[in-house]
Structure 1
């Protein structure tokens, strides 16, 4: 009898547990914490993912022979584009970050070792050739890198818990150092594994004090703290779990954060830190490693996720800032493995992705945006030309003395000049017509693209 009652109670407990699990699972799905069909079979989820990816434009396109394969890199942690359009690659050379790099108090275990003797910053041109390199004997575990409007290079080193600024004419000695070397902390003068820097056009800059302190700090150009926000606990939009990357949307007055382990991009007003908006998607998953912004078509966010499960693909994604919808996806033919950073040119035509393992950088090109950029340059040149040559081409008549040979010659010359002026005007008109036709064609293509972009895609 006792055994029978025990079995009944166990059965009731199991039934209640299953009911609670189903109710909570459905509630979580309805709240968007899990995608619909989260508990379906793997094949159903694969089909759903495949269907979602087919609805996205597969752009920008991968450049499969870039960079030069003779260039050797270590773990590539950060990327930046300088003011000449060249790519700066921040890598760890022979050093690696693994489970033995730090102790449980976040102290680097290589204190006493020499810094990396190899150049840790590689400069690549548009064709993927190495044109410059520096950063030897300076760093231990490189992480983030950016270039400001003045050409200054800003980097972070998580082993030293420091932020460095290098001017264009001095690459061996930093012009500004923040943080205390090898000393982690959570104060106004100490960081704990700072991950990234973003610099406003006025010189103010942000530091993602990312791995331990879960905060964003804004500084004046001389390194004075202006404001900070972020915490590890709670439910507000200021709660972070690894502030891994930063990007600026200055045309919108925002700084955006890759909140890595929360799988979102969170944007805040860059003047006072007020929360503005957040972006996430079930297809991206629960990990967002990096984000970049381009002020094109109303603003676009370029995102790379990271390995999370065997089901969700590791790829790059593009989000339309205005609508918050996924509009594009990109990856090499073999897919991404461990992307760590992403950067885009201001016009969005070139996108680069860094990988920790394999040690490489991928380049992607958006032909549509590149054509638009070329069109904009043509239109600007036309505007400048029109502003300079405000008078139309006119024929020139030379009046000579009537009746004499000199007068006859002058008359013939006058006739030639009238014809040449007319021909020049016709040629100019023809050239203008061709440029106008090209502009109209490209603008039509641009508008058609906008129409497609406005269609509902993946939510």
Structure 2
């Protein structure tokens, strides 16, 4: 049962299959050819070589690292090298204490506050967005209704896997999918509806000066049914949302 579909910078296609508990990489330069398989067919697990219903894949621009959202059962993100060698995995700690500092250059003052997050577990990590310029990997934490961003370990491994930011909003109840718009430094999010809240699309800033700031919300004229995936095209002019019930694709023009 194919679930997540990603395309890397070299044009390779990555597919997650939640029934087979596997991830497949296809070379699409000519006739599509399977070149890498992660996981064991129809064998779920939680070790270094097995998944349990993996949902999505994110790949670095140079193809050196691969991140897999795993998934409906395991509540973790697994990192591999380009050859499929297991490197590490990210899970949520019970809580995390961080020192958050904001510099005010005019007064030459740095204000710092201690921030404590009581994080809980990832409840269905459903979609991934890698922001290489900030060295963070963001995860749609579906059933917790939030976006969790981890240190991706690209610049240094000293803080890899630590939570760097959490994006939440009172109307986001189930976060199904996220995608990164590198041209406009935005994160597009689609959330399902529940308890009187309609399904919506959200645009958040990922500019370092305003990371996580809600910029706007959006939806089709006739409202969303069940938005399940979101992607922005390469020139950042349009956002596409895949829905189930009804089965359709909504296209939105990006207004800067």
TM-score normalised to structure 1 length? 0.47
Corresponding position of 2:217: 329
- Equivalent pair of 1:229/1:238 in contact (CA under 8 Å): no
C-alpha deviation, 1:212, in angstroms: 0.0
Q: Give me the whole-angstrom Cα distance separating, in 2, the residues matched to 1:174 and 1:238.
A: 37
1:207 corresponds, among 61, 65, 68, to 68
Provide the residue aligned with 2:194 in structure 1: 308
Higher share of residues assigned helix: 1
* Secondary structure of the structure 2 residue equivalent to 1:261: helix
**Aligned residues, how many?**
224
Shift of 1:254: 1.2
Aligned to 1:253: 135
Contact 1:195–1:209 under 8 Å retained in 2: yes
Partner of 2:103: none
Q: How does 1:7-406 map to 2 (within 5 A)?
A: 141-169=1-29, 173-203=33-63, 204-230=65-91, 234-235=94-95, 236-237=118-119, 239-271=121-153, 272-284=160-172, 286-297=173-184, 299-309=185-195, 311-321=196-206, 322-366=210-254, 368-369=255-256
1:296 Cα deviation after fit: 3.9
2:105 aligns with none
The C-alpha deviation readout for 1:424-456, integer Å capped at 9, x for no partner, is: xxxxxxxxxxxxxxxxxxxxxxxxxxxxxxxxx
Structure 1 gaps, min length 5:
1-140, 370-459
Paired with 2:59 and 2:119, the residues of 1 have a C-alpha distance of 23
TM-score of the aligned structures, taking structure 2 as reference length = 0.82
More displaced stretch, 240-249 vs 288-297: 288-297
Shift of 1:239: 2.2
Structure index of larger Rg: 1
Contact persistence 1:295–1:346 (CA under 8 A): no
Bigger strand fraction: 2
Structure 2 residue matching 1:247: 3-state secondary structure: strand
* Whole-Å separation in 1 of the counterparts to 2:146 and 2:183: 21
Q: Structure 1 pair 168/214, CA: closer, same or farther in 2 (3 Å)?
A: same
Q: Is the contact between residue 262 and residue 287 of structure 1 (CA under 8 Å) also seen in structure 2?
A: yes
Cα shift at 1:348: 3.0
Query: What is the root-mean-square deviation in Å for CA atoms of aligned residues?
Result: 1.7
Q: How far apart, CA to CA, are the structure 1 residues paired with 2:119 and 2:12? A: 32
Shift of 1:274: 2.2
> Deviation at 1:234?
3.7
- Ranked by relative contact order (alpha carbons within 8 Å, sequence separation 6 or more), the top structure is 1
Aligned equivalents of 1:262 and 1:342: distance in 2?
A: 18
Contact 2:16 2:24 in 1 (8 A): yes
Distance 1:346 1:255, change over 3 A: farther
In 2, Cα distance between equivalents of 1:240 and 1:360: 28
Report if aligned partners of 2:91, 2:161 keep a CA contact under 8 Å in 1.
Answer: no
Post-superposition offset of 1:349 = 1.8
Contact (CA 8 Å) 2:11, 2:29: kept in 1 or not? no
Higher mean alpha-carbon deviation, 174-183 vs 268-277, is at: 268-277
